[in-house]
Chains A and B, each alone.
Chain A
């Protein structure tokens, strides 16, 4: 049963419509309202609201401010790459066009505060003004005085103004070392499974009954809930896969009461969606197209990661293979792998390895150019002259970001490289030149 929001400062109808538009967020909205107080009363100088992505932080805040017609400025810190843009937007929405244009070219916080003071002496606040800064964690990366300045804006401009910061990151990570005016912390908890179900079931399809849709949502949550709790993501997935769910109903293969059949039909489909659409491997348009031409299931579109396969010249492939071997094998095993007559090596000594030292766990190691070339000549069967083209291929592999140059100390004299491709990629490459790379990898011996 939704709790009716109550507050003495506002009319009952407005609160009623507000309550209806905020499902499962009544408690948070009423706390926020209580903190804000009546429109003409002072509110705390700064309120910091944190919670997970898509837990309704900005929605509830903006909805409350809009519905109750309080003067406010909503600014996203992502848009405002410089403080100047931020100040301009705030002044624009609080005082109108003329105010924002009177800012100097590169405004500092000082200019902003001066102008704000000047403007609010002309029309002093009858109601609390609110400045909502979304994605406030980006304020930390702007000028150092910006965040402390905004937190004590009420004191600086001497006006009835409250700054509301919204962020995903906890407040402890915001504090600068000399401290600041502590804001009031408010947490928006995550939606529970039941609440997610309730919210998602709200946007049901008009041509199907409500129960069917909520059954569908139930299945969807069963698959995705343990991985993803982001409401927006879930909603997107729900909208995308609903036509597939309804297919048996339209074809007449199943009735609405055949819940088991419907579940059997959709579940593998949803599992596949987790590996493709959820990861944005294939776009949602592609996914919809794929659903339409379901008959041709065999030719499923390749995902983004399938396209990582690139066409390389013959020697480049071997150079890359050599680089991979150099990166992931310890140098002491090179003799064993790449020399024909390597003499005897102690088997115990050679095969002593720990899991922790496995290079496929620790990542690639840098290697010098000499070692790369030595391995390259050993793996290529034919005789290759060390021409300019071989060396230019190495540097073009670097520009393709298949190799990375480590340490910029010297370009010509013994540069060091690292191989930045995955095992799958290098296996695919070596298959094209019929080279069995796994036999040469120390980790897989």
Chain B
């Protein structure tokens, strides 16, 4: 049914919204590549120059791209590669190998992956190799003996580079960097990592073979640029099928970005983190509230999205506890106050709780001990309290030492928000040393 409609020249508003959702979702979720990385011009130029030297002139290089999570390391690299692959000569000549520290958890898997990505499986066949280096050497040898007489450059991209440094003896890194230093086959090793101390993880011999070129990708945006970025992220491209709707949408986005309350939300977001991923998350949450009945993005949507992003998860969980469990948490809080953060066991919590019950003449919350123990174990399952020394089955359940993983403020706030909290429980929570 929807197909028939889309053939019409003018789109209905439902179609338009669906189209907007498609374009923006692709941008936020699938991390579509932008035209040009924002605020990373010098890094872009540097990397492009370096990779061009390998691809065109056959020079061996190694470089690390370092930056916090979500600052656009992968985006920078793929933008550079996109431009690089536009060059005709490079396109024919350059071989690419992608390795990820999460996937290739040891060197054997990594080596197999390299053979696979270089399409050398038929060459290796069932041939048995001696050492790892021999295997790698053979791989590169085979590369050099490729279709053309001259050697073909290979680009190794090592995502999550710091995880490769945890491999045994760092053999893969040693060999790759060694090849980049000595052997004839031109290779470029590009590592992407979020650890700033990654060089300290490398062994001395590996470190000495690394060229110590690093590109630091850190967001140096000011808030003004950030705001511009939000605007460009949200606005629709020029070639949007329904031009009038596209124009309206872009106007509304521009107006939205000037709104004071929106600016406040974005300022808050900017203060907590500058990375684009959390921004995308926020914008996606706002975008998901756009539908046919409200076809434009409003300040309310953004407000709601930011509320969803910043909610305290533990407070949410505390809200769903039963009264008995809440009482146990309060007694734990008292124990923490009295004994200054010492670990405690169920017996002590029970004792504290009993004191509260005895003080109150009306024993509404007077339960049997096993019932209270069940509540205590539920708290343990929710990881609101934690056993001090692992799960030592040696001691009885009542005497295992635990620690409370909540702070004072969280408990008090949860009490305030708790639906129909009995007054005596509230009183008891406040009167700490009684």
User: Could you tell me which A residues sit within 8 Å of B by CB distance?
Assistant: 6-9, 31, 34-35, 37-38, 40-45, 50-52, 55, 108-110, 113-114, 143, 145, 148-149, 152, 154-156, 160, 168-173, 178-182, 184-185, 187, 189-190, 192, 225-229, 274-275, 278-279, 281, 305, 356, 360-364, 404, 406, 418, 420, 422
Contacts and interface: CB of A to CB of B under 8 A. Distances in A.
A227 B375 contact: yes
A8 B17 contact: yes
Contact of A145 (B105, B277, B293, B368): B105
Given A9-B18, A55-B320, 5 more contacts: A41-B25, A108-B105, A170-B317, A360-B347, A361-B345
A363 B323 contact: no
B100 interface: yes
Contacts of A160: 30
A382 to B, nearest CB: 32
Task: Pick the 8 closest A-B CB pairs, nearest first.
Answer: A363-B399, A190-B320, A170-B313, A34-B288, A110-B103, A42-B29, A226-B323, A52-B320
A275 B368 contact: yes
Contact of A169 (B21, B103, B105, B383): B383
A145 B162 CA distance: 13
Interface residues of B, number: 72
A44 B281 contact: yes
Contacts of B128: none
Contacts of B146: none
Contact of B399 (A44, A156, A190, A362): A362
A190 B69 CA distance: 33
A6 B103 contact: no
A40 B381 CA distance: 38
A51 B419 CA distance: 17
Given A42-B26, A229-B320, A361 B347 contact: yes
Nearest to A35: B288
B395 A363 contact: yes
A31 B74 CA distance: 30
A114 B116 CA distance: 10
Nearest to B113: A110
A281 B320 CA distance: 26
A363 B21 contact: no
5 contacts: A35-B285, A42-B25, A43-B25, A109-B102, A229-B322
B194 A420 contact: no
Given A145-B103, A169-B383, A228 B322 contact: yes
B29 A154 contact: yes
Contacts of B91: none
Contacts of B22: 38, 40-42
Contacts of A156: 100, 102-103
B396 A420 contact: yes
A193 to B, nearest CB: 8
B132 interface: no
A300 to B, nearest CB: 16
Contacts of A420: 394-396
Contacts of B163: 145
A168 B162 CA distance: 31
A178 B347 CA distance: 38
Interface in B83-114: 100-105, 109, 113
Nearest to B365: A226
A281 B373 CA distance: 13
Nearest to B166: A144
Interface string B151-191: 00000000000110000000000000000000000000000
A7 B74 CA distance: 34
B317 A109 contact: no
Contacts of B289: 34
Contacts of B100: 156
Interface of B: 14, 17-18, 21-22, 25-26, 28-31, 69-70, 74, 100-105, 109, 113, 116, 162-163, 194-195, 277-278, 281, 284-285, 288-289, 291-293, 308-309, 311, 313-314, 316-317, 319-324, 339, 345, 347-348, 351, 364-365, 367-368, 370-371, 374-375, 381-383, 394-396, 398-399, 419
Nearest to B316: A187
A108 B324 contact: no
B2 to A, nearest CB: 9
Nearest to B110: A110
A189 B345 contact: no
B281 A182 contact: yes
A31 to B, nearest CB: 8
Contacts of B288: 31, 34-35, 37
Contact of A363 (B105, B317, B345, B367): B345
Contacts of B396: 363, 420, 422
B103 A226 contact: no
Contact of A38 (B21, B195, B322): B21
B347 to A, nearest CB: 5
Nearest to B31: A155
Nearest to B15: A8
Contacts of A7: 291
A279 B371 contact: yes
A145 B291 contact: no
Contact of B347 (A38, A43, A278, A363): A363
A187 B311 contact: yes
Given A37-B25, A43-B29, A279 B398 contact: no
B309 to A, nearest CB: 8
Contacts of B14: 8
A182 to B, nearest CB: 7
A404 B308 CA distance: 50
Nearest to A184: B281
A179 to B, nearest CB: 5
B285 A184 contact: yes
B371 A278 contact: yes
Contacts of A154: 29-30
Given A34-B288, A182-B277, A227 B25 contact: no
A40 B370 CA distance: 52
Contacts of B281: 44, 182, 184
A445 to B, nearest CB: 18
Contacts of B309: 185
Contacts of A281: 370
A109 B368 CA distance: 49
B320 A51 contact: yes
A8 B21 CA distance: 11
Nearest to B26: A42
